[in-house]
Amino acid sequence: MSSSSSSSSFSKSNPGRMYDVFINFRGEDTRRNFVCHLHSVLSNAGVNTFLDDENLVKGMELIQLMRAIEGSQISLVVFSKNYTQSTWCLTELENIIKCHRLHGHVVVPIFYHVSPSDVRRQEGDFGKALNASAEKIYSEDKYVLSRWGSALTTAANFCGWDVMKPGNEAKLVKEIVDDVLKKLNGEVLSIPEFPVGLEPRGQEVIGFIKNQSTKVCMIGIWGMGGSGKTTIAKFIYNQIHSRFPGKSFIENIRKVCETDGRGHAHLQEQLLTDVLKTKVKIHSVGMGTSMIEKRLSGKEVLIVLDDVNEFDQLKDLCGNRKWIGLGSVIIITTRDRGLLNILNVDYVYKMEEMNENEALELFSWHAFRKAEPREEFNELARNVVAYCGGLPLALEVLGSYLIERTEKEWKNLLSKLEIIPNNQVQKKLRISFDGLHDQMEKDIFLDVCCFFIGKDKAYVTEILNGCGLHADIGITVLIERSLIIVEKNNKLGMHQLVRDMGREIIRESLTKEPGKRSRLWFHKDVIDVLTKNTGTEAVEGLALKLHLTSRDCFKADAFEEMKRLRLLKLDHAQVTGDYGNFSKQLRWINWQGFPLKYIPKTFYLEGVIAIDLKHSNLRLFWKESQVLGQLKMLNLSHSKYLTETPDFSKLPKLENLILKDCPRLCKVHKSIGDLHNLLLINWTDCTSLGNLPRRAYELKSVKTLILSGCLKIDKLEENIMQMESLTTLIAENTAVKKVPFSVVRSKSIGYISVGGFKGLAHDVFPSIILSWMSPTMNPLSRIPPFLGISSSIVRMDMQNSNLGDLAPMFSSLSNLRSVLVQCDTESQLSKQLRTILDDLHCVNFTELKITSYTSQISKQSLESYLIGIGSFEEVINTLCKSISEGLATSEGCDVFLPGDNYPYWLARTDIQARHSNFL
What is the per-residue pLDDT across 259-285, written as a single tens digit (0 to 9) for each? 776 778 889 888 898 888 888 888 888
Cα atoms in the Cβ-side hemisphere of radius 13 Å centred on 366: 24
* pLDDT value, residue 644: 94
482, 224 contact by CB (below 8 A): yes
pLDDT in tens, 64-75: 777 788 888 899
Instruction: Characterize 668-680 residue by residue with b for buried, 16 or more Cβ atoms within 10 angstroms of its Cβ, and e for exposed.
Output: bbebbbbbeebbb
Structural contact between residues 765 and 744, judged by C-beta atoms closer than 8 angstroms: yes
At 20, which amino acid appears? Answer: D
Q: Please state, for a pLDDT cut of 90, what percent of the chain lies above it.
A: 30
pLDDT band at 42; cut points 50, 70, 90: confident
The pLDDT value given to residue 17: 62
Instruction: Report the DSSP beta bridge partners of residue 542.
Output: 520, 568
662 vs 142, which has greater pLDDT?
A: 662
Q: pLDDT category, 466, cuts 50, 70, 90?
A: very high
Domains of the chain (ranges, CATH numbers): 19-185 (3.40.50.10140), 198-350 (3.40.50.300), 356-419 (1.10.8), 429-493 (no CATH), 587-772 (3.80.10.10)
Q: Where are the beta strands (DSSP E) in 429-484?
A: none
> Between helices 169-184 and 34-44, what is the axis angle to 10°?
40
What integer pLDDT is reported at residue 452 of this predicted model?
95
- DSSP-based three-state secondary structure for 249: strand
pLDDT value of residue 862:
29
Residue 829: pLDDT above 60?
no
Bridging pattern class, strands 704-706 and 680-682: parallel
Range name among 126-135, 209-218, 308-317, 806-815 with the lowest pLDDT average: 806-815
Q: How far is CA 852 from CA 486, 788, 847, 856, 866, in A?
A: 57, 11, 16, 9, 17
Residue 403 pLDDT > 60, yes or no?
Answer: yes
Residue 810 has pLDDT above 80, yes or no: no
Mean per-residue pLDDT of the chain: 78
Helices (H), 107-197: 116-121, 124-136, 144-156, 169-184
Q: Which pLDDT does position 60 carry in this prediction?
A: 55
The stretch 378-390 carries a mean pLDDT of 88
- Contact (CB, 8 A) for 844 and 815: yes
Whether the Cβ atoms of residue 840 and residue 815 lie closer than 8 Å to each other: no
So what's the pLDDT on residue 893? 41
Alpha-carbon distance of 683 to 707, in angstroms, equals 5
Count other Cβ atoms within 10 Å, centred on residue 810.
17
Q: What are phi and psi of 436, to 5 degrees?
A: -75, 125
Higher pLDDT pick, 15 / 766: 766
Instruction: Report the interhelical angle of 144-156 vs 124-136 (nearest 10°).
Output: 140
3-state secondary structure of 112: strand
Distance CA 867, CA 786 (A): 9
Query: Which residues, listed in sequence order, are joined to residue 555 by a DSSP beta bridge?
Result: 576
740-768 pLDDT, tens digit each? 888 877 778 888 988 888 888 878 887 77
Left (φ > 0), alpha (ψ -120 to 50) or beta: where does 535 sit?
beta
Helix (H) or strand (E) holding 366: helix 356-368
Average pLDDT score over residue span 910-915? 28
DSSP string, 762-821: HHHHHHHHHHH--SS---GGGS-TT-S--HHHHHHIIIII-GGGGHHHHHT-TT--EEEE
688 burial (CB, 10 Å; 0-12 / 13-18 / 19+) is: middle
Shortest CA distance to 518 belongs to which of 501, 532, 505?
Answer: 505
The rounded distance, in Å, linking the Cα atoms of 679 and 663 is: 23
The CB density around residue 309, as the number of other CB atoms within 10 Å, is 18
C-alpha 96/C-alpha 159 separation (Å) is 16
Better pLDDT: 453 or 861: 453
| Contacts for 897 with CB less than 8 Å, ≥ 6 apart | 741, 769, 772, 773, 784, 867
Amino acid sitting at position 603: F
Q: Is the pLDDT of residue 221 over 50?
A: yes
- Closest to 71 (Cα-Cα) out of 19, 129, 9, 147: 19
Find all residues with CB under 8 Å of 630, minimum gap 6, and list them: 466, 606, 607, 608, 609, 653
Q: Is 3 helix (H, G, I), strand (E, B) or coil?
A: strand
pLDDT at 879 over 60: no
Is residue 3 predicted with pLDDT exceeding 60?
no
**Rounded Cα–Cα distance for residues 434 and 509 (Å):** 14
| 593 pLDDT higher than 70 | yes
Given this model, what pLDDT does residue 165 score?
A: 61
* CA–CA dist 303, 306 (Å, integer): 10
CA dihedral 28, 33, 34, 39 (to 10 degrees): 100
Radius of gyration of the chain (CA): 38
Cα angle, residue 481 at apex, residues 390 and 311 outer, rounded to 5°: 135
Would the CA dihedral through 494, 500, 506, 512 be positive or negative? negative
Return d(Cα 191, Cα 171) in angstroms, integer. 26
Q: By C-alpha distance, which of 876, 870, 881 is closest to 911?
A: 870
Q: What is the pLDDT of residues 606-655, one digit of tens each?
A: 999 999 999 999 999 998 888 999 999 999 999 999 999 999 999 999 99
What DSSP line would sit under 563-578, residue for residue? TT--EEEEES-EEES-
Write down the pLDDT at residue 866: 35
pLDDT at 657: 96
- First CA to last CA distance, the chain: 84
The one-letter amino acid code at 895 reads V
Handedness of CA 579, 582, 585, 591 (dihedral sign): negative
Give the model's pLDDT for residue 758. Answer: 87
Whether 504 contacts 434, CB under 8 Å? no
Give the model's pLDDT for residue 186: 66
Which among 774, 729, 781, 789 is positioned nearest to 893, based on CA atoms? 774
Residue 765's pLDDT is 81
- Rounded to whole angstroms, the Cα distance separating 147 from 32 reads 30
Contact 323, 292 (CB under 8 A): yes
pLDDT band at 2 (very low <50, low <70, confident <90, very high): very low
Sorting pLDDT into bands at 50, 70 and 90, what band is 436?
confident
CA angle 325, 328, 334 (to 5 degrees): 130
- Enzyme catalytic residues: 92
Summarised one tens digit per residue, pLDDT across range 44-61 is 777 888 886 544 444 556
| pLDDT at 52 (0 to 100) | 65
Residue 178 has pLDDT above 70, yes or no: yes
Task: Please tell me the distance from the alpha carbon of residue 311 to that of residue 340, in angstroms, as a whole number.
Answer: 9
**Chain center to CA of 739:** 39
Q: pLDDT value at position 509?
A: 67
Other CB atoms within 10 Å distance of the CB of residue 427? 11
What HEC string does 706-734 produce? ECCCCCCCCCCCHHHHHCCCCCEEEECCC
Answer yes or no: is pLDDT of 672 > 90. yes
Nearest to 327 by CA among 385, 245, 248: 245
Range with the poorest average pLDDT among 134-138, 702-706, 733-737:
134-138
Q: How far apart are CA 681 and CA 425, in angstroms?
A: 45
Comparison of pLDDT for 163 and 906, the residue scoring more = 163
E strand segments, 235-278: 246-250
> What are the C-alpha distances in Å from 245 to residues 96, 296, 300?
33, 11, 7
* pLDDT for the residue numbered 213: 79
SS3 333: strand
Taking 70 as the threshold, does the pLDDT of residue 127 lie above it? yes
Residues near 665 by beta carbon (within 8 Å), at least 6 away in sequence: 642, 643, 644, 645, 659, 683, 686, 688, 689
Specify the pTM: 0.60
DSSP secondary-structure letter at 857? P
CB 488 within 8 A of CB 482: no
Q: Report whether pLDDT(888) > 60.
A: no
